[in-house]
Amino acid sequence: MEVTKRPGGRSARVRDAVRKATLAELAEHGFRGLTVENVAERSGVHKTTVYRRWGNVEGLIADALELAAGEPWPIPDTGTVEGDLRGVVELVRSGFEDPELGPVSSAFVAAAMQSPEAARALHAFFEARHDQSAQVVRRGVERGELPVTVDAREVIRVAVAPVYYRLFVAHESVSRRDADRAADAALAAARAGVL
Amino acid sequence: MEVTKRPGGRSARVRDAVRKATLAELAEHGFRGLTVENVAERSGVHKTTVYRRWGNVEGLIADALELAAGEPWPIPDTGTVEGDLRGVVELVRSGFEDPELGPVSSAFVAAAMQSPEAARALHAFFEARHDQSAQVVRRGVERGELPVTVDAREVIRVAVAPVYYRLFVAHESVSRRDADRAADAALAAARAGVL
DNA sequence: CTCCAATCGCAACGGGTGTAGCTTTAGTGT
DNA sequence: ACACTAAAGCTACACCCGTTGCGATTGGAG
């Protein structure tokens, strides 16, 4: 992020207002319906100001994304790798199903597909998420449930990938059972020493 | 697709010209750079005509997508499930790496994320692809390499999902080794009876 | 308290996208 | 051949997005 030369006062207020408005607009109208003008009006900040500081719609999203990347999320701890991994995947699935979070998250993915800036932000976001989630795999290794050679982050990737694939590429629905199955498949591969 | 009342002659020519132009523009400038005007100019068809028949950019993509869905693709036949499945995944990976096909395919995915029309078209496309690819799994079952309870299409999904996930969601690079590993993981899960 | 630079608000405008009304062209049936 | 009509071409325009130049405001340093 750029260095804010005047972090206190109006600049900060403007920034917060715009961020909030971006998330609200995203939740209401999705990525397609997100325009700089609407965000400006909703936030009470002048259009020109938003253009100057954020550049365009993708800039708004990239900024909101960095905000979201900072927030931690609840890593499950059920006592077994199987339960934990299922929990992680289910968390992803249900997140996109949530009527409030879903559209926002989807918008992030859509935006990253068109804007290098948003893509970089999303990449960093998943980097962080993978690191956090990999913890459930590492715990499994410590318990002796998985071979020590396992690539923890890769297990997470393989586990969640089918959910994203169904949602954003093949455009199929994703049931809880589908999510469980994806987690189980990653686990089976890990146990077999493939990952 | 809609019923063409005058399938022969000019209408058909216009349609072909626009489809060709769409693909060409897509290959050159990607989804972001695709505009109705450019397609109109390149195809020699008037702007208003394109708007009337295709409505907008997403309509153009959905149409081109249906065209692409019809084309078959080379299913590998190496003699083992492992080789075949790796071949399928590698075909996907290298397809997106190809300087000509890559941008077009990516555009399809991006467009489907914003347009219900394109989403439906892409869904149908993958439905067909999965059916074709599942054949390598079914052959494996016949050879006794996999349990008969296996869900052939699900194996395909799990095998290719990590490639798409890396490319379009996490925005990571995908090496050939990554592709192989994804195929092997799906196979291990299938052998373990999870899929 | 005062000054000054950073930031924001404002009004006007240029460019491009999508639309409307009408005319012209060319398939299709008799 | 001829008439009929669906479909494409054409012109003009309304609208919206993003930009620019300038003046007003505000936060922070001394």
Per-residue pLDDT tens digits for A105-139: 999 999 999 888 889 999 999 999 999 999 999 99
Of A109, A185, A195, the CB nearest to B195: A185
Which tokens sit at A107? 């918008």
> What's the mean pLDDT in B4-17?
71
Does the pLDDT at position A184 exceed 90? yes
Residue-wise pLDDT for B132-175, tens only, equals 999 999 999 999 999 999 999 999 999 999 999 999 999 999 99
Q: In this predicted structure, what is the pLDDT of residue B11?
A: 74
Does the beta-carbon distance from B189 to A191 stay under 8 Å? no
Q: In this predicted structure, what is the pLDDT of residue B67?
A: 83
- Residue with smallest Cα–C1' gap to D16: A37
Q: In this predicted structure, what is the pLDDT of residue A162?
A: 98
Averaged pLDDT score across all residues of chain B: 91
Range B110-131 burial, b when 16+ CB lie within 10 A, else e: bbbbbbebbbebbeebbeebbe
Q: In this predicted structure, what is the pLDDT of residue A115?
A: 86
Does the pLDDT at position B75 exceed 70? yes
The DSSP symbol for A74 reads -
Q: What is the DSSP string of A102-160?
A: HHHHHHHHHHHTT-HHHHHHHHHHHHHHHHHHHHHHHHHHHTTSS-TT--HHHHHHHHH
> What's the mean pLDDT in A23-35?
89
Using a CB-CB cut-off of 8 Å, the residues of chain B touching A191 are 192
Largest CA distance in chain B: 58
Q: In this predicted structure, what is the pLDDT of residue B186?
A: 98
Distance from CA of A185 to the nearest CA of B (A): 5
User: For residues A163 and A156, what is the distance between their CA atoms, to the nearest angstrom?
Assistant: 12
Angle between helices B57-70 and B47-54 (to 10 degrees): 70
Q: In this predicted structure, what is the pLDDT of residue A129?
A: 94
Neighbours of B172 (CB within 10 A): 16
Identify whether the C-beta of residue A123 lies closer than 8 Å to the C-beta of residue A114: no
Averaged pLDDT score across all residues of chain A: 91
> Would an 8 Å CB–CB cutoff place A172 in contact with chain B?
yes
The model's confidence at residue A8, banded by pLDDT at 50, 70 and 90, is low
CA of A10 to C1' of C6 (A): 11
In this structure, of B65-79, B143-157, B179-193, the range with the lowest mean pLDDT score is B65-79
Q: In this predicted structure, what is the pLDDT of residue B50?
A: 95
Residue-wise pLDDT for A42-58, tens only, equals 999 999 999 999 999 99
Chain C nucleotides reached by a protein CB under 7 Å: 6-11, 16-21, 26-28
The model's confidence at residue B35, banded by pLDDT at 50, 70 and 90, is very high
CA of A53 to C1' of D27 (A): 18
